[in-house]
Structure 1
Amino acid sequence: MAPYTLRDAVKRKVRRGIGRVRKSKALTAVYHRLFQTLSHLPQKKNLVMFESFFGRQYSCNPRAIYEYMKDHCPEYQLVWSANANYIDLFEQHQLPYVKRFSLKWLMLMTRANYWVTNVRLPLWMSKPKDTIYLQTWHGTPLKRLAMDIEEVHMPGINTEKYKRDFLAETARWDYLISPNAYSSEIFARAFGFENEMIESGYPRNDFLYKSNNKETIDAIKDRVGLPKDKKVILYAPTWRDNQFYGKGRYRFELDLDLQRMRESLGEDYVLIMRMHYLIADHLDLSEFEGFAYDFSHHEDIRELYLISDLLITDYSSVFFDYANLKRPMLFFTYDIEDYRDHLRGFYFDFEKKAPGPLVLTTDELIQAVKKIAESGFAVSDHFDEFYQKFCSLETGHSAEKVVKSVFK
């Protein structure tokens, strides 16, 4: 252990002081006013600022649009907004990035010709008059959204303020991407969106069409340390609005009996687990080493879709994306009555229309996995109807459609 010196003590005290100043309401107010002032500066033409899940990921629709533009639109300057705690990810991919909320970020965001993101931006970020805001969103809706939610259960906000803030944000969107006609109708109403809807399919799913081959799948498995001689089950649940530690930090209680699953399935399967980005809990899977893996912080869920033979989820929109692979799915819906009747509610009869069986217990889940294996990993009887309604626009060219619609 390094010796503790007076110099170290002074440094720490200074750092703590700087941290307190940075978080002070007065400085925050000044920063917000500075953003508003700089947003009146002349536009920096062809500058595109990208952000995914608050700067924490290089993923989703913004990533797919970026990758297409990097290859096909050399006249644009493409820059990522990166959360300071996730800089290593952006450097690993050798991406052009700027630290979110830094002074350099301030100068770029206020002068950018385009903003591209998949979640809401803070309302204090006043959109410059000539900036084009492309909102890609991040899922096909099963659970009710925005104006369609009867009562909000999230921390630190009441229903009236939540809806008022949401409408203030959506009013700034110039374009909104929709994966299908079903979503377009819901987005327009629930978001109060009146500008241009791009019904293109989701760009993030282009990868599933272009990379669905043994060579790519094996390469990903090698990189993440998964065996090639076992089937892969992906478990990707969503968050619960009423289970939280604080604003933007949600709890998740794991109802899966991993011990039972390992005993029954461990010889032939591995389980990879991907928690929602809002869930703050860290999984401790040390006692299930070799069977269960925590991939919650894997950079992009699209690779986990590709290497999985079977998806287990609940009410997460991941199953709409996974359906593009035409592989079987199970729905672990142990709390469906509470979620359906009290928390969110659904846009369609999920219990009848889900593209796979709904199960309530770990034992039912294990039996369902075995039944799918016996069928040769066939999809459910409802699958074809589901696919035609939700996935028919996605053919591997959605990013191209979006870019040609927005970057004219």
Structure 2
Amino acid sequence: MLNSLLSNLIDRFSFIRKFKIYEFGENIGFPLIINFLSKFFKEDIDDNLIILSAYSGRLYIDNPKYLFEFLNKKSKNQVIWIAKNNEVISELKKKGFNVIPFYSIKTIKLLRKAKYIFSSHGRLDIPPIKFSSLTTFILTWHGTPIKTINLNLEKTYAYSKWNRIFKLKLEFNEYINYLLTPTKDKEDHRILAKAFKIPLSKILSSGYPRNDLLFVKNDEFIKKLKYKFEIANHIKRIIIYAPTFRDDFVFRFPLTELELRLLNDLLKKTNTTFLIKGHIFEEKIDMKKYDHFQLIKKDTDIQELLLISDILVTDYSSMIFDYLLLNRPILLFAYDLGEYVKERGMYYNFEEISPGPILFNGKELIDAIKNIEKIDKDFKEKRELIKNRFNKFTDGKSIERVLKFLNISFNNE
């Protein structure tokens, strides 16, 4: 009840997020209250209790989702998902999974007892309680960073004097035990360690659990996914466009009307559908004029879309490293590269780590799609090199690796 009420009020009156008092209340006031309340519950650790959550408790996706489903299927542990979103709660209950609301005393009590907590974004995903020193917190994260992830970290409340005054331990380095990464390169590990202000010893090179899905070779399963996303039977090729998040919350696909018509004609001629997947926090765009474009719900599990697609179009998103596991062509539609690098910053030289051509406008994008067979061949060797650098493992067993490292038992049959 409380979970539903608070979530609905915040969503309904979203303008209040712009006020400083709301920002302070959400990032300091709320954690202070939850931290205080949690101290009334014993640190009675249950070695079989595992709690997971993702994307501020709003979505059921990414690495925690795949760990959650694997554990439910193959372990005897008590596995619980935390959610703010009532649709997620309802969905998981229908599947027979154990799910609890974000805002509840029961949730605080269980978190104090949890042996393991898995989270995609850290403190944002779960109530900010005072964790037991016996609890192991695993930050699964949501992608190998290309763009600078902590550019304004020092300006956030988590890193402010208020966090230190109230001893809330909101900084990543104050509560993370392990950070998952798919990379093997020491330089990549140093970038992560510096960004999250954690020692190298806390970086676990295991592969991302979500990428185990990309190794599924079941035609019937893929057919079901295409049906789920309403892909017509006559469609012979699927392109997925999924750009990275923009700080202004605006989704852009900067093609002129003429270019959109030309691209739509090309898609029609080649029996291709063009799926568009925006970020969960970005505004929608309207593509109803064009019958070979399809907008995908923003809360959709991107891994399923990657699995069924034939070509990935993106920009600075770390999903390029995931997609390399499929050995399929990638187009980098980086129409604002110079501006983006200047404003956001990158850890790498973008050209050096680009496993496909960098395209700057609609004409180049259309031409690249027309010549995709040649591009596929020309970049095959570079894709392999970049794949091997940013993916230590290519066996589809990342979940098992994580669980074995943590000594979490499961049935391997």
Deviation at 1:187, TM superposition (A): 1.2
Q: Which moved more, 1:160-169 or 1:324-333?
A: 160-169
Q: Which amino acid aligns with 1:106?
A: I
Deviation at 1:33, TM superposition (A): 4.6
**Partner Cα distance (2:98, 2:255) in 1:** 40
Q: Who is 1:110 aligned against?
A: 112
**Partner Cα distance (1:236, 1:201) in 2:** 21
1:200 and 2:206 equivalent? yes
Q: Who is 1:350 aligned against?
A: 350
Query: Contact 1:329 / 1:356 at 8 angstroms: preserved in 2?
Result: yes
Deviation at 1:380, TM superposition (A): 4.2
1:159 and 2:155 equivalent? yes
Q: Who is 1:175 aligned against?
A: 178
Deviation at 1:395, TM superposition (A): 1.1
Q: Which amino acid aligns with 2:368?
A: A
| Equivalent position SS for 2:372 | helix
**Partner Cα distance (1:260, 1:294) in 2:** 18
Q: Who is 1:283 aligned against?
A: 285
**Cα distance change on mapping 1:353 and 1:181 into 2, 3 Å:** same
Query: Contact 2:239 / 2:310 at 8 angstroms: preserved in 1?
Result: yes
Q: Who is 2:383 aligned against?
A: 383
1:322 and 2:314 equivalent? no
233, 237, 245: which is aligned to 2:239? 233
**Cα distance change on mapping 1:304 and 1:190 into 2, 3 Å:** same
**Cα distance change on mapping 1:29 and 1:300 into 2, 3 Å:** closer
| Equivalent position SS for 1:138 | coil
| Equivalent position SS for 2:100 | strand
Query: Contact 1:167 / 1:192 at 8 angstroms: preserved in 2?
Result: no
Q: TM-score, normalised to structure 1's length?
A: 0.82
Q: Which amino acid aligns with 2:75?
A: C
Query: Contact 2:35 / 2:130 at 8 angstroms: preserved in 1?
Result: no
Q: Who is 2:138 aligned against?
A: 134
Query: Contact 1:180 / 1:391 at 8 angstroms: preserved in 2?
Result: yes
1:221 and 2:226 equivalent? yes
Q: Who is 1:404 aligned against?
A: 404
Unaligned runs of at least 5 residues, structure 1: 1-11, 244-249
Summarize the alignment of residues 58-97 of structure 1 with structure 2, pairs less than 5 Å apart.
Answer: 58-74=60-76, 76-86=77-87, 87-97=89-99
**Partner Cα distance (2:367, 2:31) in 1:** 57
Summarize the alignment of residues 248-397 of structure 1 with structure 2, pairs less than 5 Å apart.
Answer: 250-257=249-256, 258-268=260-270, 269-279=272-282, 281-288=283-290, 290-343=291-344, 345-373=345-373, 379-397=379-397
**Partner Cα distance (2:135, 2:365) in 1:** 49
Query: Contact 1:265 / 1:366 at 8 angstroms: preserved in 2?
Result: no
Deviation at 1:60, TM superposition (A): 1.5
Deviation at 1:171, TM superposition (A): 2.1
Unaligned runs of at least 5 residues, structure 2: 14-21, 164-168, 409-413
**Cα distance change on mapping 1:184 and 1:394 into 2, 3 Å:** farther
Q: Who is 1:100 aligned against?
A: 102
**Partner Cα distance (1:29, 1:52) in 2:** 18
**Partner Cα distance (1:25, 1:215) in 2:** 49
Q: Who is 1:37 aligned against?
A: 39
Identity %: 28
Query: Contact 1:327 / 1:379 at 8 angstroms: preserved in 2?
Result: no
Cα offsets for 1:92-150 (capped at 9, x unmatched): 4332101112232222223222211110214843222221111111101111232xx3x
**Partner Cα distance (1:120, 1:254) in 2:** 31
**Partner Cα distance (1:69, 1:233) in 2:** 32
Q: Which amino acid aligns with 2:139?
A: Q
Deviation at 1:226, TM superposition (A): 0.4
Query: Contact 1:327 / 1:378 at 8 angstroms: preserved in 2?
Result: no
Query: Contact 1:232 / 1:270 at 8 angstroms: preserved in 2?
Result: yes
